[in-house]
Amino acid sequence: MINIKFMNKLFRYIFLILFYALIIPSYGQINGTITKMLDSSALTKKSRTVILMKTDTFTVLTTYKIFIDNCYKFIKEYDLDWDKELIDIFLRDTTKIIYAEKITGSSMQKSRLIFRISSLLEKGNCLVYNNFTKKLERKIITEKYITQFVIGKQFKTSDNWLILKTVDGVF
């Protein structure tokens, strides 16, 4: 005679093992790609510069044209009003060097700026100056990660210094 309690426990254990077998490989998973960064020759005396972010460790910058093109491409694909608002701020600024963090006022503009920086880093369309080593980073590593509650990207140097970390989705 089959013991019902035993079968229920057995079924529960098998279910839990299968459930964890499916979940654990994706939890904390990190995939990395190496990207060659923009060459410093892109910045000329005639080009306008956008300082995307500046920390104690890194200065991330690109040309005005590359930044604006990136924004337009994203707007064309996703048509978000927040990105239209962001690009308007940059189109109104006529200075030779634009400090992105200073001209973005609202938290939504700052948030959209982070996603533009992320996109430019991932595509290698910016320069990353290491303020400690006083050198440009030639390559960066983009790691896509998944944890129990979030999915995102982190951008690191080849020496494993964190440049930027984003959260792209929350579960």
DSSP assignment of 17-43: HHHHHHHTTTTT-EEEEEEEPPPGGG-
Average pLDDT across the chain, whole number: 88
Q: What is the pLDDT of residues 95-154, one digit of tens each?
A: 999 999 999 999 999 999 999 999 999 999 999 999 999 999 999 999 999 888 899 999
pLDDT value at residue 8: 67
Predicted model pTM: 0.81
Enter the tokens of residue 150: 């979030």
pLDDT value at residue 73: 96
Buried-state track 23-47, b at ≥16 Cβ within 10 A, e below 16:
eeeeeeeeeeeeeebbeeebeeeee
Q: Which pLDDT band, with edges at 50, 70 and 90, does 10 fall under?
A: low
pLDDT value at residue 169: 87
Share of the chain above pLDDT 70, in %: 83
Q: What is the pLDDT of residues 50-64, one digit of tens each?
A: 999 999 999 999 999
pLDDT value at residue 171: 75
> From the CB of residue 162, how many other CB atoms can be counted at a distance below 10 Å?
13
pLDDT value at residue 13: 62
Judge whether residue 164 has pLDDT over 80.
Answer: yes
pLDDT value at residue 25: 43
Highest mean pLDDT among 3-17, 55-69, 157-171: 55-69
pLDDT value at residue 30: 64
Query: What Rg, from alpha-carbon coordinates, does the chain have?
Result: 22
**Coil, strand or helix: which one is 69?**
helix
Judge whether residue 3 has pLDDT over 90.
Answer: no
> From the CB of residue 52, how many other CB atoms can be counted at a distance below 10 Å?
25
